């Protein structure tokens, strides 16, 4: 299985979130943390972002009582 790394512009595009929201949610522990790609570069594992999106979709589609 090949691992795809997404940089911030791609993560913003896929999620529809702003940079500040992404980093704020990471600090809260509600968004996947990036991996280090070098001294000043990070990226997110695509499958982690896809799982996060799936969980957000599932949560918003829960039936309310």
Please indicate, yes or no, if residue 14 is contained in any of the structural domains. yes
Domain containing residue 45: CATH number: 1.10.238
State the Cα–Cα distance between residues 45 and 3, nearest whole angstrom. Answer: 7
Rounded CA-CA distance 36/15 in Å is 20
Please report whether residue 46 resides in a domain. yes
User: Is 39 part of a structural domain of the chain?
Assistant: yes
* Number of domains comprising the chain: 1
CB atoms within 10 A of CB 11: 21
Looking at the predicted structure, is the pLDDT value of residue 65 above 80?
no
User: Nearest-CA neighbor of 44 among 24, 22, 60, 18?
Assistant: 22
Let me know if residue 65 belongs to a domain: no
**Residue 62: its pLDDT value, please?**
83
> Has residue 1 got a pLDDT over 70?
no
Q: Kindly state whether residue 33 falls inside one of the protein's structural domains.
A: yes
The pTM of the full predicted model, rounded to 2 decimals, is 0.88
Domain range for residue 21? 5-60
| Domain contains 23 | yes
Alpha carbon distance 34, 38 (integer Å): 12
Model confidence pLDDT, tens digit, residues 24-52: 999 999 999 999 999 999 999 999 999 99
pLDDT tens figures, 7-27: 999 999 999 999 999 999 999
């Amino acid at each position: 299985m090949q691992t795809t790394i997404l940089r911030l512009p791609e993560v913003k595009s896929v999620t529809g979130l702003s940079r500040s929201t992404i980093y704020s949610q990471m600090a809260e522990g509600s968004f996947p943390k990036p991996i280090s790609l070098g001294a000043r570069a990070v990226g997110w594992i695509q499958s982690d972002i896809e799982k996060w999106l799936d969980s957000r979709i599932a949560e918003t589609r829960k039936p309310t009582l």
